[in-house]
Each structure stands twice: as C-alpha cells, then as structure tokens.
Amino acid sequence: MRRFIHLFDPFIHSCERLFLLSLFSLILLLIPNPYGHREDVPQLSLRLGSKLRHSHIQEGNDVYFDCNVRANPWVTEIRWWFEGKEVHTNTSAGVIVSNQSLVLQRVQRGNRGRYTCTASNSEGEGESNSVHLRVQYAPICRTSQKVLYGAARQESVKIHCEVDADPPEVNFRWAFNNSNENVVVENHVAAADGTSSVATYVPRSELDYGTLFCWGRNNVGPQAEPCVFSVIPAGPPDPVRNCSIANQTEESIRVDCSDGYDGGLVQQFVMEVRDSAIQRLRANVTSSWPSLTARGLSPGSEFVLVIYSANAKGRSKAVVLTASTPALPESMNRMAKGMSSSPVSASLSI
C-alpha cells in the first residue's frame, strides 16, 4: 500500500485566499447592491393604512396614511400635503402629523381629496405618488335649489328635491304637512342621476297648501335633516293701487303706487308710456318696486300711462293714467333750434 502525504505550503495557501478575496470583491462591484449605498434624493411611496379599504371609508371613520421612505443619506424633514396645501397637526380638527404617518380622526366630506408627502435630504426633495381619499356620506340637501312653489287650486306642480350623496344611489320619501295633518306623498319619481326626485303635487283645497318634506337614503344611511319646500296659493297678482304722478320734468314722469297681493309669487311692476295722439309706445319701464320713472320723453307732450304687475302666473289688470311733460321755456326752445343770435345772450339765458 502506498501512502500519499500532503505537505502544507503556507505560500500557496495565502495565494489561494488572496485570489478568492479578489474574485469576491470583483463580483460585489459588478452586481448592484439592492439596498443602495449611493447618495440620492429620497424615494417615497404613499398608501392608506394596511387595514383600511378605500371603497368603504365613511364619515366618522378614522383614516391614516403611511409615507414609506428610501433615502441615503436619511431625510431631515417629512411634510404632508392636501390639495397642494401643507397639512399641520390640528388636534381640535382631528389632524395628527407624526413623521411618516398622517392620521385623520372622524373624517368628514371636507377631508375628501388628494394627499401627498414629501421628504428632503442633502441631495434634494422627493415627492410621493398622490392618493385620493374618498369619503362616503349620507344624503344632504343641495344648496341654492328652489324651495318656494306657487300653485292654483287643482293645478299640478312639480317639486324638485336635490341632494348630494356618496354613493349617489339614493332612495327618496316625501311627506306633506299643514296645521292639521301629516300625509305621505306617493307620487314621486327619482331622476336618472340618482340624487334627485320630482314629486307631483296638486292642491285641491285651502288645506292642501303647506310644507312638503323630502328625505334621501343611501348605503351609508338616512338623511339627517329633510329638504323643506313650501306650496302656497298662486295666481296672477292683484292690480296696483293708489297710483299718482309723483314727479314731472320736461323729459321724465315718475309714478308711485301701492302694490297689491303678489299672487303667491315674486312680482314685477311695469309701466308702458304711450303717445296720447297715436298710441305709439315711447317707454317701457320695469321695476321690482311700485315706483316707476320713464325718462327720455319729449317735452310738452301728453301721454297715456298703463301700469300693471306681473308674475310667473300672468299679469294683473292695468291701471291707466294720463300725464304730460311741461314744455321747455321759450329761451330754451330758441336755443334748441339754434336761433340764438348771440353767445352772450344764450349764456345769460342759462
């Protein structure tokens, strides 16, 4: 049997180690380091808290955002933004900024919108993606909608109820109330947009004038406060009363009257000024007050004044007056005709 004896050579062993270390260092240089050691501006990623479902956030819920940061060197400042405006801690409003987290307590409709975060280091500032926060809420009455409706007896009137809601799929109910009773209104139809309803109402007697209420309900819940509409007796207004000539000049006439019943609707007052001789219309004046002034009339002329009021249901009977404008003084007539012989005498006449 032969025996092989391995002799340890320290020099050869050292060379092998040096070669392996050099090879390993070369590999490290060639393969990118996933953690990155080079200096760069921060990289940010914004998301809702892991336990939150974006499509199920409703008014009254607590919401929080996480701003994930990768940076070298590490960041010196993290800031939060809502619709382009910086967000600061406001505990009374339920807003808490805590470094890489933003907490919104009991969110409301006003918290809906676009959120971002930014971070800075010595290399610059980085900005995250934007996250749009959707807050669902129960229906509320839309502002600036018509709330006063006039209707004659036996006249059908369509009353529009409009709400804001998210989700916008809304079911409606209506009720009528006067001093004697409270009645459910069945004749109503929801519009295609889901956030409005039209009720058809017919007052048949004096007791059918009063207040209608409209409520909406969606998946979040019922409307807390109803939309309120008033149905009042309506028709053409009554004639104006006690009309008199309040002022006359060579080129204007003013008439003051007392207003009559407006028919249950907003009314306007009208004065037509016609030539007495040939009935040609010389002026047409409209005002929201029963005081009307016609200007630009011919001096020394007689007119017929036709005065009435009008609303959406029609016009009243007319009140007719006659009036005239004073003639110009003789010297003024001569000036108007260019017959003055001297600039000095014209000046003295003025």
In a domain, 273, yes or no: yes
User: Of 216, 233, 235, 232, nearest to 224 (Cα)?
Assistant: 216
In a domain, 97, yes or no: yes
What does the pLDDT read at residue 56? 85
Quick one: 126 and 47 in the same domain?
yes
Measured between alpha carbons, how far is 227 from 140 in angstroms, rounded to an integer? 8
What does the pLDDT read at residue 338? 54
Whole-prediction pTM: 0.60
In a domain, 29, yes or no: no
Q: CA–CA distance from 256 to each of 32, 210, 251, 310 (Å)?
A: 92, 34, 17, 17
User: Of 207, 201, 302, 196, nearest to 248 (Cα)?
Assistant: 302
In a domain, 100, yes or no: yes
Amino acid, res. 291: S
Residues 27/21, Cβ–Cβ less than 8 Å: no
Amino acid, res. 5: I
CATH number at residue 220: 2.60.40.10
Residues 243/190, Cβ–Cβ less than 8 Å: no
| Partners of 71 in beta bridges | none
Q: Which structural domain, as residue segments, surrounds residue 216? A: 138-233
Residues 160/144, Cβ–Cβ less than 8 Å: no
What does the pLDDT read at residue 37? 53
What does the pLDDT read at residue 126? 96
State which of 103, 135, 167 marks the end of a domain.
135
pLDDT in tens, the chain (350 residues): 444 444 444 444 444 533 443 444 334 334 444 444 567 999 999 999 877 777 789 999 999 999 999 999 999 999 999 999 999 999 999 999 998 999 999 999 999 999 999 999 999 999 999 999 999 999 999 998 999 888 888 889 999 999 999 999 999 999 998 877 778 888 888 777 789 999 999 998 888 999 999 999 999 999 999 999 999 888 899 999 999 999 999 999 999 999 988 887 889 999 999 999 889 999 999 999 999 999 999 999 999 999 999 998 899 999 999 999 999 885 465 555 554 443 333 332 32
For 84, the token pair is 């382009």
In a domain, 339, yes or no: no
In a domain, 200, yes or no: yes
Tally of structural domains, the chain: 3
For 272, the token pair is 């037509």
Cα Rg of the chain (Å, integer) = 42
Angle at 221 between CA 218 and CA 224, to 5 degrees: 110
Quick one: 202 and 127 in the same domain?
no
Residues 134/111, Cβ–Cβ less than 8 Å: no
In a domain, 342, yes or no: no
Measured between alpha carbons, how far is 51 from 63 in angstroms, rounded to an integer? 10
Amino acid, res. 233: P
State which of 200, 233, 266 marks the end of a domain.
233
In a domain, 1, yes or no: no
